[in-house]
Amino acid sequence: MTIKDFLLTGRKNAISASELCGMSKLPERAVQKEVLEARLRGELIISDDSGYYLPADESEIREYAIRRKAYIATANKALRPFLKALKGR
């Protein structure tokens, strides 16, 4: 059984991290790792403030992609000073 087997379709059916931990009998870190591994295999698993869920339609996929791209852009900006500091050494 995989994490995806516990998930329902659509934001309205999102399952919180704590609920998913209880259902899967895994600690939160393991759930996060399982979700990441599933995404790396190409599974479409969305997470947001409402929890984890499978996309119901293209709009949910689009919203998630936009949020993740913004997060990645911000993370890259935050990383720049560290990379700059390493170049100076």
Determine the average pLDDT of the residues in 55-66: 98
Q: Where are the domains of the chain?
A: 3-87
- What pLDDT does 10 receive? 98
For the segment 2-59, what is each residue's pLDDT rounded down to a tens digit? 899 999 999 999 999 999 999 999 999 999 999 999 999 999 999 999 999 999 999 9
Instruction: Retrieve residue 46's tokens.
Output: 């969305």
Q: What is the DSSP string of 16-84?
A: -HHHHHHHHT--HHHHHHHHHHHHHTT---EEETTEEEB-SSHHHHHHHHHHHHHHHHHHHHHHHHHHH
